[in-house]
A and B are shown apart, each in its own frame.
Chain A
């Protein structure tokens, strides 16, 4: 086999790797050509340095969508390999299949689901609470570039010595000690570490923003539910992601410095599972709670009714947040803990169904008595309800521990969590993009294409994932690259693959819709295209860069709707402009992230001079930034000369 030596590993010159390199080069060349031909380098540089929440939000959405296409391509390879019994599609058997399936899971969770929602939060939360920007705009930019850097690490691994192949859960000892491709495991540990640091910063940023930067009069009980969902999700991030950071740090030590934290015998393989799932289960709620809030807002808007049971919606969010830290062992039901441990975690898991059920009924009763319109954003929200309820009931079923001994690690579970995550997070992201598109670009997406997009996605989705429950009940374990003709799994798998193709077509149609709408839709969606109820619809579309010159005064949970009812044309605004800190665009976040990328690269290939150089640059810039912070910020607002002087403490 031909291969090129590359640091401590080798790049095999086989068809799939060559294909990867060639397509990466072609895409790169095409991007450079486009940017040069259209003379866009300056604009790109402006965007890279921006600290504006709306622009960062749009970049989050765009980048996660690129990763979505990558994760989706992996999924298509997986489905093609599984379409027929004993199939041999291209190279995707054995190790290569494991690499695809691992990259699919890792990408979709960390670089699609999470950042898609962070993107929507960036776009909408400041607009919903009347904040000029996030509390720490520089930090926001840094979070974004760290996420890009982590995603890049995971994505280039396939080209530089092999992707991780121990699944997105990366169980040890498989992920350590040479039981699987070490380069890939290092990419996994470093990629998640870097992106995870950025995510924790995002969480701090949003917590401070939501707690401190709400418009005057917007009490907690007047916050839109999307903001509520975001708040509880970022609190979960703050509590859960450090566990992941610790876990992947130890994993990195096991692999690079030959410690044995997670080794069988001398170490404890179950320690990894605990650390991973203490993060991993809350992660599921991190990517679904903002979506719950989003659906509440959308369903209320298009039913022309306030959301039913606002208070119980908030309490349910809080309860789910609380319970989500008490259920992680249900991922470990078969590791051999006793009946009592399993029973306790089974009960706590089943309890989550109660607040979730409250939310479902509240959504249904929000629609009751309304005047329901069905634009695409609402179609996705409405399509979400039965989909998510199916995922919810299978969730209760897998929580039932004695029965779970059968479901565990089978395709039943694969079906269950795709119902929850695709049916929740991905459909929610689509709904959010259709809903807030005008706030980002000033135009609405084409509704006809949107309708087709929704229906093909929904049908493709159910065709793909519904049969998986039956595969599991017929004894198909997870993460297998094939099955035997006599296993009786062919029909189910074939249907699933057809569904996957329909979903892929649907996603491409969505991309086409963006391009088509960009070219044809009038740029005059107006500030309030949906007859909205909450604060973000009171400002122009696209949201102007000097949004909230004067802060709105909030007297009601649905300020816009109240003023419409009262026949007023505008909200009540504060008498004078408030002072606030404005941070200028900065190239430091990009440079810090690039330095951390270099450091991570050094660790992955165990070239410590590179790693130390990268870390040195990172810390050097942090020190530089701390010493020159004042130069990058500016007070703005009418009464900026009140004695505190420029560059004083950040206004709270």
Chain B
């Protein structure tokens, strides 16, 4: 029997003329592991919230949802609470308590479990997710990723039978993401939990799910096994192609001309299958050894001159409180004009803290940050990890106009900027919305638009690709490249290794408050084992120096 069944679900928010869900009918069976994907703003969050009836958004709804065969409106609250677990998109706002252990116990207390049972479950789950380290810390001192893990743990501890996850790994580092997905996989396979997960970052999750539900404009465009959906997406040539896992995309590149006739099951989704296909391709086409090595970058030509320095950090030390340990230790580096500098590293190593120092928000207690731009007006723009706090007014239009006004810019600049870049293509649609009504990805876009209007010389971005669909990411990269072409320096913190590999000029790895290595992406990623791109994993020992799909394409099609 279906655990969850939706029948012709149609939904519209009251203050939004657009219909957000259109005629959605899904059958979800017990033990299914389902990926919900689609472009930003297609209604994933909205759909997911309807499935956990208690938090369904307010608006005009038609159609029905059944939970274990019963209309969800008639299911008692207690079983909705204990049976369906929901993890929200924004990790900050769903926290109710002060301390991680209280937070984890919250649901269990409400369900009325005996206290020793609560303690046992909390202890088990905390050690499972590695939360012991900050079990009794104040929650507000945790990093974004740590909060997200805690949220997952506080849902898992309630042992639900259906798990709904809204971009649960958007702020986790790649290692933690991988671990998290393998935990999910284990929970699904061993305990038979039904899991529905929304994601933009499909790399790691796509190969392990049973079914993919691909949404577009509030409709289900495809609901099938991953291979069929992958083929459908590839054949349709939609923008979603960019989101598919790297092995699939490499395979698509290799079989471009005849993929339409291929059996969907032969499309590789994971690294192992991708390697097999690549090897087979190389052998079958008798590609000579000279075409297997991408020529290394010319390091000499990449050397930058001192006068091109944009930001210079010298021996920075920082701590939040006098009595607390150092978060940043002896950090020194430079960024140059026309360069995208990416900072990578695990959760809680201090990346956000470092950006806050570069932007001048926090002051180091030792060391200095120098900005060596010619224009003496300080022009550093900063995109915080949580972009909500960038909006001042009640509508996007007013907000943008206000920004122009406060910074003595002509209002026409808004239209110019929006029209100049593809990234902002659908932005005018939202001009009259309240910034706080936008979906996660849309907020991110608007916040970035605000930065662009300021015409900065240095841009600091904290996880800019979080919540963006693959196509928007590509457009974002285009903007960044245009900007660096104009001599602007971009520093970004990201967990998106593919994005960093593809678009940055240099990458830095942070560990425990220190920068442990800085290098060009090619060398940076081919030297790492875990902190490396999927392409590099697929091509290891077959091709050399290839870290992005583009690299592979270049090599294979000379």
Instruction: Please say whether chains A and B are actual partners in one complex.
Output: no
* Interface residues, chain A, with chain B CB atoms under 8 Å away: none
* Interface residues, chain B, with chain A CB atoms under 8 Å away: none
